[in-house]
Amino acid sequence: MSDRLARLSGRLREQGYRVTGARRAILQELVSSSGHVSADELAALVNRRAPRVGRMTVYRTLELLQQLGLVRPIYLGSGAAHYVLLEDGHHHHLVCARCDAVVEFDDCLMQELEQRLGERYNFRVQGHLLEVVGLCESCREQEPA
């Protein structure tokens, strides 16, 4: 359950960052919403439980998590960035190119690819985000063309 929470805050601590109340609250919501949240949406969620945590802290914490490779921003519809947790270093979903519906999937054929890439480009791979893009069923029905 808060396995994941513990793992995430562990990562912060071991990299020399403080595990503050605000950060814990943010991680908490990020894990329990385990979906695609914008910074503002996340701030609103956090505020319900920890009203003293401001929007700015959410932005800054997301940036930190991103630098640590724990989170990735994606673009979903409107101008705001949405964030996904890289659970165990990876995340996968299908996105409808038209209505931005999202379907999560778990298949992962990529451990091997990651390793090869890391070696070839001298890159320490932390994880990956794979978006498969296309049209969902209902968008396809609307326009059979």
Partner DNA sequence: CTCTGTGCAAAGGATTTGCACTACG
Partner DNA sequence: CGTAGTGCAAATCCTTTGCACAGAG
Number of residues that bind its own copies (CB under 8 A): 47
Which DSSP letter does residue 33 get?
H
18 counts as binding DNA under rule CB under 7 A: yes
CA gap 29, 42 in Å, rounded: 7
Site for its own copies in 9-38 (CB under 8 A): 15-16
Q: Binding marks (x or -) toward DNA, 56..95, rule CB under 7 A?
A: xx-xxx-x--------------xxxx--------------
Query: Cβ(74)–Cβ(84) under 8 Å?
Result: yes
120 counts as binding DNA under rule CB under 7 A: no
53 counts as binding DNA under rule CB under 7 A: yes
CA gap 42, 71 in Å, rounded: 13
The pair of structure tokens assigned to 3 is 């396995």
SS3 60: helix
CA gap 27, 41 in Å, rounded: 14
Q: Binding marks (x or -) toward its own copies, 102..141, rule CB under 8 A?
A: -x-x-x-xx--xx-xxx-xxxxxxxxxxxxxxxxxx--x-
Q: What is the dihedral of CA 13, 64, 66, 3, to 10 degrees?
A: 30
Q: Which residues bind DNA (CB under 7 A)?
A: 13, 17-23, 38-40, 52-57, 59-61, 63, 78-81
Where on the chain is the footprint of its own copies (CB under 8 A)? 15-16, 66-69, 72-75, 79, 81, 86, 94, 96-98, 103, 105, 107, 109-110, 113-114, 116-118, 120-137, 140, 145
